[in-house]
Every structure is written in C-alpha cells, then in structure tokens.
Structure 1
Amino acid sequence: MKFRHAVASLSVLLGLSVSIAASARDVHVPGDFATIQGAIDASPSGSEIRVGPGRYVENLVILNKAITIKSSHGSSRTILDGGSKSTTVWAQGTGKERVVVAGFKITNGFNSFANDPSPTPGTGGGVRVELVRATIEDNVITGNVGCIGAGVFSQEASIEVRRNLISGNRQDQSCGGSNGGGIYMNGSTRKDSVIADNVVEFHKIEGYGGGVGINGVRGVTISGNTIHHNLAFDYGGGILVNGSSADIVRNVIVDNATVSPFSTTGGGVALLAIDRWNDISLSENLIQGNTSDSAPGAWLLAYYDKAIRADSNWILGRGPAALVRCDAGEARQEQCDLERRRAGN
C-alpha cells in the first residue's frame, strides 16, 4: 500500500512537472520551426524563441501572448524583413504581457494610411507595440516606411527601447503631415517607459518630432542617446515632447533641423507642457548645431508654473536667432525666463 501510494504521489508530481514545462518553453528557429511566426503561434505564453542566422521574410504578429524573440548571432547576421507588405513586428496585448525583441536587423516594414492589409494603418513601419510591456533592444531598425513612428511606434504601452541603431526610416508620400520619424510614443498612463543608449539618425518627416516624438505619455526617461541629422517640418527636429511628462538627461542632440519654408522653431528640442499634469525635465544634455528659424536649440512652452525644468545643458550654435525660446501660458513669464537662462541662453 505504501509503495502504491508513493508511486501515485510520484505520478502526480511528474504530471505537475509536465504541466509546468508545457506552460513555457524554449524553441529554436529554424531547428524546431521553419518560420518565426510558426514558432510564435505554437509556443505558449512565456516562451523564448531563439532565432538562428538568416533572412526571415515575415510580418510577425504577437497577440495577447508574452514572448521573447532573440537572435543567437546578433543583428549583423539575423534579418527580419517585412517584405514591404506590413509592419515587420507587431505586438498587441491586454497591458500585462511582456514582449522582448532583441538582436535583429528589422527592415523593409511598410505601413501607410493607404495600406489596406494592416489593422492599424500608418503606425509603426518597423515595430509597433500596443497595450504590452515591451523591450526592444540591441537591434538595427532601418529602411522601414510608416506614417507615425516609421521606425518604432507604441500605443498605450510600457516600452523600453535600449541600445538600438534606428536609422533612415521614412514616411510614405501618402502620410501627409504625420509625426515621428525614428521613435513615436503615443498615449500611456504608465510612468516607466525608457528610451536609452540608442542612436537615432537620418529621418525626415512632414510633421513634428523628427528623431523622437512623445505625445500624451505619463512618464518616460530619455537618456544617453545620440540623436542627430533628423528633420521635422515644423518643430522638434531632434525631440518633441507634447502634453507629456519626461526626464531628458545626458543626450547628445546635434545637427537636427526644422525645414518648413514658413516659420519654424525648436530645431533641437521642442518641449510643450500643455496639460496641468505635465512635468518635463531637461538636464545635462549637449544640444549643438541644430537649425530652425526660431530657437534652434530648444523651444520651451509651459502653460503652467514649474511644468518645465531646464538645467545644466550645453546649448551651442550660431545664427541670428536666440538659441532658446521660452513661451508661457498661465505660467508666470519670469518662471519661463528663468528656465530659458538655465537652459543656456
């Protein structure tokens, strides 16, 4: 009886072990699956997909599932190619799922307003994440086409964008005056997003936020990035923060521009604190050689007292316009002027 009881107990334990193993696993492409999408579809939530070297012409879709997708040999040897059909990597969840995409060259994504096959037309040519906790790291994101966030786009997501080269993504002719070249974050009540240690370069857009655009986000840290040679039509050639809270610290923001034939402002940085909850800090950044008709270094627009704090920045350049422009709404003008002086002008 004791022996049979022990065997029964062992069977229960083994069954539990099998159940746990089935709940998450490591899989390999092309070892276990010929395609990455096949591995995503077959793998339970919590799995890690290891991708070997090669070019994978796929439009990856991750729905309501926590998945880690990593290359085994890095971005120089592992290419995710969207085939100019749709967004290269698209993840959507309920707000709880964690999605990691690491170590790829992500290219040839296409998502314009006229792109009928896409459920989310126009947003995110290379990467789009919505209602997930996403980590996008150690990738090269280049040669993608999208209207809003041609390189990386997030919607109501907590996102970490770390150590990527985000270069030369562009807008389709059908996009009109859309926003966000390299990275565009739109709307999030979370306060833990991060854009850190990336290179964001060579984007040209017809809207606002040539390199990085932040809109309606409760909290994001932008630190340690090099943001250069990005162009926006009206303002925010390097970085645009609009109606959001952000800490912008220790970035190199150089040689960005606004290029409208009409009056432009904020060639390097445009910070627009337009809602009462907005809290923006600009500190210890090098902002140099940016161009626009007005405030080629930084444009600070604060509707409320102490909504923008600027300190210990190096803002350098030449031209007839003052490097920093500060406008106040309901905020006291003297507070706005103080921030302008602290910003370096």
Structure 2
Amino acid sequence: MANQFKVAVQETTEELQHRLKRAVTAQAKERLQMLYSIKTGALTTRSELAQWIQRDESTIYRWLQRYKQGGIKALLSVKTAPGKVSKITPEALQKLEQRLAQPEGFHSYGQIQRWLEAECGVVVAYRTVHQLVRYKLNAKLKVPRPRSQKALPEVQAAFKKLKDLIRVLVRYLGTGQPVRYWCQDETRLGLKTITGRQITLKGVKPHGIVGWRRENFYVYGAVEPATGESFFWEFSHLDSSCFQSFLNHFSVQFPDSLNILQLDNGSFHKSVTLNWPDNILPIFQPAHSPELNPIERLWQHFKQFLRWETCTNLEQLRQKLKEVLDLISPEVISSICGWDYITTALLSATS
C-alpha cells in the first residue's frame, strides 16, 4: 500500500517504553507512541496511525521524514519562534548591569529608562525596563544605607584595619585579660509613633494610627559582634553624666575582660570629666561614619518591631521594648552585627 511505513525504528521497545514514561509534554508522548506502534507492529499504515493519534496523514508523514533524517532527537525537538528582537543590545545590557553594580544605583525604573536613552540611545517602554531589571537582572528597589557627605573614605578604610590597632593595644597593655570587642551607641525612643510600610491588597490604601506626644528616653547599648552578647541601659537624656553611669554599670557587668569599646565622636563620649574604668578601652571611629558601627543596624532591626505601636505613656513603651529585646537572641544579634571586618580583625589580632 502507498501509505505503508518505509522507515525502520532504531530504538528498542524497552527504550521507547522508558521514554514514554518520562515524557512530560503531549507532543513528545504522541510522537513516541507513533514510534512504539510502528516498532511493535500494532499499526501498519499511516492512515491507521493518523486515525489512532487523531492527526492528519500529512502530519504523520512529516514526523516520519524528520525521524528518518535526524533520528529520535530531531523528532522530539520543538522549534520555537525567535520572537521580537530586543531593542536593548547586549552591549547596552552589559553597560546597564555594570551601572547597577555600583552602590549609588538608580532612584527608580523611570530613571533607568531615561539613562538607557541618554547613555545607550535605547528608547524602551517602562514595562520593558521593569521586566528586564527586576526579573532578568534580579535588581530591585532597596533602602539605601545613609552616608555623610563629610565622610572620608580613606580614613574609613584605615579604621577597618582594626587588627593592627587591637594587636598593638593588647601587647602594650599586657594585662593578660581576655580581650572583648564591643560596639556602643545610643538611640532615642519616644511616644511619637514609628511609621513604616504596610502590605495590603492591590487597590487597598493602608492606614495607621499615629501618636504625636514628645516624651522620650534614651537607650544606651553595647553589643559584642563576635558572640552577640549585649548590654542595654535606659537614661533620660544624652550627656557625659549618663554616659559615665553607663560605663560604670558596663564595667561591673564584665569585670574579667579587657573591653575595647568602639564609639562615635559624640562630645559626651570625649568629655574630660569622664573617668574610664580600668577594664574599658575606648576606640573612636572616624567622624561622620555611623555605617562603621554595627549596633546602628541593630537599632534599625528592633525598631521594626515597634512600628505603628501607639503607647499612651513611657511605661507602656518600656514594656514593649522589653518584649522586643527578649525576642532578640545573641544568635540574631551576632548575625546582624558580626561584620567581617571586625570578626576577622579580632581573629588576626588575638592569634
């Protein structure tokens, strides 16, 4: 008969059965079923096969010709349309990726859209830019870490070489005590509500109750990045007297170690009236460089738990703060504050 098969199936029956079990698309299954039927002799003509698979005889003929010319790999391959050529050339894409790798980033997807037009001569829709940047390059809007325009990068880089400073201090003092490195800072908490973003369904505008009372207090704190151990004390305001009290309490809490305390350049930290306990040694970070102190990150972390809390008095706020601090374990603090430049410096200096 004119429509009898004129092709020999090279694969074994067992191999075809195995491929059929592993096939995940309908296209692959029906083409493998065609080969299996021919191999087993269940169907002997194209018309029978076309009726069984419910395909036109011409389609069966094309599949067989593809198999005859390129084997099972060619038969199972699926050609896809190349799609529309992207307006963003590979060169422009590489240039954009390099720009996104810089810390200053972009303020918005609209700014990226304008940058592509100005720098690469590429005019594309906002939606295209969003899809490219967000899902292909995996870049997204983030909250920047603030940096002062007065900060000196070279001084900050020198400060990060803590290991040399710590080694010299330890050898010079020669106390024989264990050396512990702490990061100290203060933060203000008050009855004025801490606001923040909220997640709602599309079309639903979030709202929050805000209190405007100005009563507040200060939390003085110190954290040890290496272990996550912490020490906090509440004071009514910032001055050298409160700081002296904090130092005294801190010294008593950790009497068996030489405690190196990293501080910012607040005037009350450098007051001539301060009496530094024998087991506390201050190290002052460069001016205008809060980003060098990991406890700043911890303040941000626990204030997230206080967002949209409306307390009617300071005692309620203290209770809320206590609940938050109880939730933050040393492991969490270490993960937040254990910055590489500090932990590496400590390992190098004390080894």
TM range (shorter): under 0.3
Higher strand proportion: 1
Larger radius of gyration: 2
Higher helix proportion: 2
TM (norm. structure 2) is: 0.21
TM (norm. structure 1) is: 0.21
